[in-house]
Amino acid sequence: MKMTGGQIVCDCLVKEGVDTIYGILGGAILPLYDTLPQFPQLHHVLVRHEQCAAHAAEGYARATGKVGVCFATSGPGATNLVTGIANAYLDSTAMVAITGQVARRFIGKDAFQEIDITGITLPITKHNYLVRDTNQLAKIMKEAFYIARTGRPGPVLIDIPKDVFTEQVDYHTPGKVELPNFKPTTKGHPAQIQKAAKLINEAQKPVIIAGRGVIISEASTELKELAEKGQIPVVTTLLGISSFPESHVLSYRWIGMHGMGYANMAVNNADLVIAIGMRFDDRATAEVSGFASHAKIIHIDIDPAEIGKNVPVEVPIVGDVKTVLGPLTKLVQPSQRGEWLKQLDDWRREHPSTEIRETSSLLPQYVINQIYQNTHGNATIVTGVGQQQMWAAQHYTYDHPNTFISSGGLGTMGFGLPAAVGVKMGRPESAVWLIDGDGSFQMTLHELATIQQEKLAVKIAIMNNGFLGMVRQWQELFHGKRYVATPLWGPDFIKLAEAYGIAGVKVRRKDEVIPAIQQAMAYDGPFVIDFGIEPEENVYPMVPPGASLSQFLEMPKKEAALWPQRNTL
Partner 1 sequence: MAATKHTLVALVEDRPGVLNRVASLFRRRGFNIQSITVGHSETPGISRMTIVADGTNTSVEQVRKQLDKLVETIKVSDITAEDRVERELALIKVKSTSANRGEIIQIVDIFRANIVDVSLDSLTVEVTGDENKMNSLLSLLQGFGVKEVCRTGKIAMTRGFNSADHPRRVATPEE
- Catalytic center residues: 50, 112-113, 162, 470
What is the crossing angle of helices 321-331 and 220-230, to 10°? Answer: 20
Binding status of residue 176 toward partner 1 by CB under 8 A: yes
d(CA 257, CA 553): 10
Among 38, 108, 179, 535, binds partner 1 (CB under 8 A): 179
Neighbours of 312 (CB within 10 A): 9
The CA distance from 214 to 210, in Å, is 7
**Interacting span for partner 1 (CB under 8 A) from 46-54, 121-129, 214-222, 515-523:** 121-129
Q: Does 123 bind partner 1 (CB under 8 A)?
A: yes
Q: Which is nearer to partner 1, 173 or 373 (CB)?
A: 173
DSSP 511: G
Residue from 1, 38, 41, 122 binding partner 1 (CB under 8 A): 122
- Give the integer Cα–Cα distance in Å for 100 and 417: 25
**Three-state DSSP class for 371?**
helix
- How far is CA 3 from each of CA 31, 49, 66, 329, 549, rounded to the nearest angstrom? 13, 31, 26, 51, 58
Question: Measuring CA to CA, which residue among 392, 385, 401 is closest to residue 87?
Answer: 385
- Contact (Cβ atoms closer than 8 angstroms) between residue 385 and residue 426: no
Between 96 and 445, CB nearer to partner 1: 96
Pairing of strands 432-437, 68-72: unpaired
Among 73, 80, 83, 118, interactor with partner 1 by CB under 8 A: 118
| 556 upstream amide cis, omega within 30 of 0 | yes
Query: Is the Cβ of residue 192 or residue 538 nearer to partner 1 in the bound state?
Result: 192
In 3D space, the residue among 52, 58, 64 whose CA is nearest the CA of residue 429 turns out to be 64
Comparison of 304 and 545: residue with beta carbon closer to partner 1: 304
The Cα 137–Cα 129 span in angstroms is 10
Nearer to partner 1, 309 or 510 (CB): 309
Question: Distance (Å, rounded) from C-alpha 205 to C-alpha 275?
Answer: 14
Of 188, 207, 208, the residue nearest 317 (C-alpha): 188
Q: Residue 336, SS3?
A: coil
- Find the helix or strand (DSSP H, E) in which 348 lies: helix 338-350
Q: Give min distance, CB of 176 to partner 1, in A.
A: 5
Residue from the set 55, 66, 126, 299 that interacts with partner 1 by CB under 8 A: 126
Quick one: which of 2, 40, 170, 183 contacts partner 1 (CB under 8 A)? 183
* 160 interacts with partner 1 by CB under 8 A: no
Rounded least distance, CB 216 to partner 1, Å: 16
User: Among residue numbers 294 through 353, which ones bind partner 1 (CB under 8 A)?
Assistant: 303-305, 307-309
Q: Does 147 bind partner 1 (CB under 8 A)?
A: yes
Q: How many CA atoms lie within 13 A of 15 on its CB side?
A: 17
- Residue span binding partner 1 (CB under 8 A) among the ranges 124-132, 444-452, 510-518, 559-567: 124-132
Residues in 8-67 at the binding interface with partner 1, rule: CB under 8 A: none
The minimum distance between CB 134 and partner 1, in angstroms, equals 17
For position 490 contacting partner 1 by CB under 8 A, the verdict is no
Q: Residues 178, 429, 511, 559: which binds partner 1 (CB under 8 A)?
A: 178
Interface with partner 1, residue 554, by CB under 8 A: no
Site size for partner 1, by CB under 8 A? 23
Q: Is there binding between residue 119 and partner 1 (CB under 8 A)?
A: yes
Residue among 15 and 229 whose Cβ is closer to partner 1: 15
List interacting residues with partner 1 (CB under 8 A): 118-119, 122-123, 126-127, 130, 146-147, 176-183, 303-305, 307-309
